[in-house]
Structure 1
């Protein structure tokens, strides 16, 4: 009986498998390191911005007291009679933001409801990119459109100053509408179809189902979109700089010129104030206030989105 020696390839196959696993582990570690580095760049950039802002702000408060900054009602740091009350800038910021949200919330939410519940798929596929196209228009275009078209048009109806809060707020509302509408649309579409069908089974109309079932179920996403829209309006610069003017006033009159925090920062950034001067440091003090406001708004948005988030199975 003849014996045949069969070559044993198990060791070679095992070594190949080990080498392959080792190379895959190295690749995974390299990719993980690269991704970690990218995330770290974002974190370090944010940290650096915060450090610089508050470092310069600390230098500002070495020369100006908190009482002068938070209790005074006049903002004239560039004049001979200097006042450093930040409230006129905060007032101008929130006045234009309130007008903007009065426009963006109904327009954005209505467009989201239509695209989600009423529009045919082909129509929605055309209209949604068209609405979101508004977000791609440069803000300086909105500013000049408000100054050269909206303001003259409104002055035929109501008495307005050439630079006024109303025109700037209206154009900001149009600009922010895609933000509110797009996020609200995603929140409404995330509501399960079974909830709608259950509402229809109870005999209620489509409109009643939208307002009594769909919108309450999507409430967290809708509120988050509104708060994000407010953050966008608070941080807007060019539209309010061009259309609202540079008159820091503590007023609620929409027909008057006001100055927002971002508009003042753009004014100081023009280079007229020497670096290291008190006027230059006001840039960082106002920036710190703006940073804290937007941070609070984002925290509230995150809390609401998690607090009222509905989970479906």
Structure 2
């Protein structure tokens, strides 16, 4: 079934990638339009080898659209996603605006695709770029034993701050590599070249950053377990693309490394790398891929019921654009889009 699609925020970094992913995955497009702010309207973008003029976001633009793939700031999404849904479209939204709304499913297709049937407001929320690969890796292990607690430390790339973050990092890196004075940061909260930043996000009243609180709340919602313990520390590292995560998972009983590796090896969306063969996940493996790379699976020497593992995923693709397109594919496959 071919569908009518609108890409909102089409000229941004994620919107640009959504266009590429739609083509790469051969999404069944009947018609497509590209929408953006008044400032970007009139620009030309390319899709499947053809030029398209970017249109301004307004209510009339959603007429006859069946799926909207939206990548805008939360404020814009709060205004226009309900308008698109009212016009009859199902919106897959990349912002944080709808993630914790009980009437909007928070979906990772490899983890909880059945939740797509529960989009009461016509809006499907695309999760945070840390929560997506984390839940892709944890979900198959939940079939082995009950997961009680997750401790995760992240190593998040500069591109999590968008194009401005990357430009900031690259200017710093050029100076740092040549021994010149590093320019003051313009997007990141501190110098990133040759450094790591633990407060590259807004600090919330509970002492955790906005990013860390997203990881806590979204992981619980995606995995469907409000009692699950989640303890995160999020850190920005001097890498361009792909987020890495060091994960400790506590179960209600011992789970062997062999059991865990077997479950991960057969899990959708997971590429298991074998440290015994000298393989280990790195950002350079994940960049440009829609998979979550998992390795370094080992027993926790301090807790007989816990395992440690390391994972890496492309934060722009699986952490944003590709997950949104995969949600759209499932909406079509399941007959939710009419």
TM-score interval for Structure 1 and Structure 2 normalised by the shorter chain: under 0.3
Greater share of strand: 2
For CA contacts below 8 A with separation 6 or more, give which structure has more relative contact order: 1
- State TM-score, norm by structure 2: 0.22
